[in-house]
Amino acid sequence: MKRKISHNINFIKFFDQRRMGSIPRAFLSCIVVIFFFYFAPTIIGFVNEEKREFQNNSKAVLAYTLNKDNKVGGQNDKVLDEKDLLVDIFSLNDLEVDTVRLNASTIKQLFEDTNYTLQDVRDKKLVKPVALTLLPNEIKMIENTKKRKEFFIQIILPLILKENNNIRIDRKRLFSIINKSNNTSLEKKWLEKKYKQYGVPSKDLSLLKIRMDEIPVSLAIAQAAKETGWGTSRFALEGNALFGQWTYTDKGIKPAAADAGTTHKVMMFNVLKSSVRAYARNLNTHKSYRKMRYARAIQRDNKGKLNSMELVNYLDSYAETGQEYTVILKKIIEQNNLIDFDDVKILPNSEAVKNLI
């Protein structure tokens, strides 16, 4: 007991020596407690994030269910389900089964008949809705590099613009719903579908708004060019795979140079537009591109216009080469003046698209 009394007396003397009253001591204690509980979750979250093993396999958009660490938005409440994320893409694949592969000369004639040239697109900022379903096998036989590149861009440009238009229409509807105090049952059903497609089980509208956004056209073209060798790769010609996305299902092409023991394949699509949609869904949902999406959201808030040369910096985990991959993408964008296509519009073929131009 004497030791306890002596300890208390010393404790009181400690504060008396500093002439600190009871009210300041209480105030100081409250400040310390508040700061502790305010910053503790952030510190713990940062530590946990640092402890996670980094795997450079973010092309595996179609293998969400096999990657148990790939939680939605970093949360632990639900694993992303590819059936929800890509149901519209699988449906599109099932519909497009009777496709016809046009040869290169026929496609070139089609472009000439419709006066579709890249120079005209750069000048007028408009693209005719000439949507092809398959790449021509002869594209790899075009020896002139410049002509092959232009031909490839002509083929995929309308597809990328069309997919961005689809996202823009959805985004416009989302903003309309957000700005309403009450939503109809039809709007609620639409939201439920979009929550699943964009991997937002928490039903967080702000998170859905960040994920539901376009991919800069110049960035998409550059990645398609890099992943397919400007349309000449086996994956592009046999499987309509423009972006080298992985799958662990049976529906894929096994890479010839795959390491022993690897089980991944490159996903096959029935048509090119399915590949474009899967690519956009990949960048808009995969955890590896969370920083890219937030950078894109900041660009939207500040300027309203997307800057591909900035966003490309956040795609280092798309390929095993990391930062080297982003450097190559920048060179492709710059050397081919792909920024010219970022503000291009596709000529309307529906009332919904007309409202966006």
- What is the residue extent of each domain of the chain? 2-51, 61-354
Cα distances from 287 to residues 71, 79, 152, in angstroms, run: 8, 12, 30
Query: Which residue's entry shows tokens 């979009």?
Result: 194
Beta strands 265-267; 252-253: pairing state: antiparallel
In the chain, the percentage of residues whose pLDDT exceeds 90 is 56
Tokens 């890099």 label which residue?
A: 226
- Residue 5 pLDDT exceeds 50: no
pLDDT at 76 over 70: no
- Model confidence band, residue 53 (pLDDT cutoffs 50, 70, 90): very low
Q: Is the four-CA dihedral 161, 166, 167, 172 of positive or negative sign?
A: positive
Question: Which tens digits make up the pLDDT trace of 161-171?
Answer: 999 999 999 99
Give the phi and the psi of residue 71 in degrees, each rounded to 5: -75, 160
Token pair 């500093």 is found at 18
pLDDT above 70: percentage of residues in the chain: 68
Does residue 270 contact residue 99 with C-beta atoms inside 8 Å?
yes
Residue 1 pLDDT > 60: no
Across 91-100, 279-288, 348-357, the highest mean pLDDT is recorded for 279-288
User: What type of residue is 54?
Assistant: F
Could you give the CA distance from residue 356 to residue 353 in angstroms, rounded to a whole number?
A: 5
Mean pLDDT of 195-217: 94
Residue 226 corresponds to which tokens in the numbers above? 């890099």
pTM: 0.76
Per-residue pLDDT tens digits for 246-297:
776 667 777 766 555 566 778 889 999 999 999 999 999 999 999 999 999 9
Q: What is the CA radius of gyration of the chain?
A: 26
For the residues 31-44, what does the mean pLDDT come to?
51
> How is domain 61-354 classified at the architecture level of CATH?
Orthogonal Bundle (1.10)
